[in-house]
Structure 1
Amino acid sequence: MPEPAHSAQPLSATDTRPPCLASIEAVTAGDRVTVVCRGELDVGAERLQPELYDLLETSSMGVDLDLAGVGFCDCAGLNVLLDLRQEALDQGKTVTIASCGPALRRLLDLTGARELFRAEGAERRPEAPDTVPAAPEQGVDVDEELRLEVAQLRRAMRTRPSIDVARGIVMASFGLSSEDAWTVLVTASQNTNTKLHHLAEGLMGAVHGEPVAKEVRQQMAWAVAKVRETPSTPFA
């Protein structure tokens, strides 16, 4: 079942940021979270960032964005999406755009960002007959930016096998479910300020007798104890 829609709170006396004109709903299915967004993504969309990051954190593979209900998006709104994608890459996950309206599609095409949110292996859809590729702005090396972004995405996807193996190790070692094992890995990663794929590689090395840092062992033990105290909640 969809989770309740998130919307911005009224401005407080000390908060002078523009209001958010969009709302989000989330549905968890397996390893990914689908986020449905409606409204307008402009400078006020930064208010959605904490909730988007929280939803990304609860997924093991990443977030799929349904933006068909977004009627307007400017560069500030796009930056929120790009920041979410970068955070996902840092966690070894992906962010895809499952659907979007013409306004956002046009912005993605103009900025060359459309490919960055395409699911791996997804087929390229034919462009509309009246779509004309936009020329890049003077002084902006769009090709170099895209190459860098694609390289980061490929690197993130290469880390998935080690993370999945580490999750299996935690499941087998402590008798945990897949979801609880994922929570343990993420918690230990955050509490030790260690990239998730680095932590995973360390656990894989431990299977072959390599030592695991004391701080990592302590945080893993603490995280295992916490998930055992908290009953698992089935996904909606």
Structure 2
Amino acid sequence: MTSAASPHLTGGSNPLLISGRVCAERAELTPRGEFVHGCAEALARALEELPNTVTRVDLDMGDVHFMDTAGLEFLDVLSDYGRQRSLTITTSNWNGQPLRILELAGLDTSDPLRSTTDQVAPATAAGSSVVFLERAERLHILQEEVEQLRQAIASRPVIDQARGILMATHGCTSDEAWHILRETSQLSNTKLREVAAAVTAGAETNGPPPPPELRTALQRALARRRG
């Protein structure tokens, strides 16, 4: 048996496939790909194909490489399925980014379904929604952290250039140049990357000088370091 999330739902990046087999009263499911929009629907279809004789469902998550809030919905579908049919359901081999999401969501990484069952009020949609929203908010925080890291990585070259310019122009060390840039950013209420870009642009032949407020903040930061 195989179930797949439609490419138009997942964006086609790495669509989820769920393969499985049934041995006596036990079903083994293996999701592969990403837990994004559409994954819960793929899971629901896979579960519908299981025979009524199944009393246990085990999922191997080792080939799941990425998940967002849709992955939490995936877990909710599993939990509801097991509760409605009084089945034993387990998930194992979580790793990488999906494991980090479970940690951020406050779930038991060895058995996230147990966490889901314990935290949701019995058979109340409202309780389930509250828990889901709380997890989604935690995931949103993680996504913001990841985006900030991406921006920092993208900003690194221009910041390094600006540090080099300050070191050559004012005879300061690399650490001193870094502190000057940070202090200029704080004094002018300007993002560090914008400060670095202005310093770098101003050092070019016929380059534009930094804006007045930025230039004043930079002079103050340099003066403090000299003092």
Q: TM bucket by the smaller chain? A: 0.3 to 0.5
Higher relative contact order (CA 8 A, sep 6+): 1
Greater share of helix:
2
**TM-score, normalising length: structure 2:** 0.44
**TM-score, normalising length: structure 1:** 0.43
Structure with the greater alpha carbon radius of gyration:
2
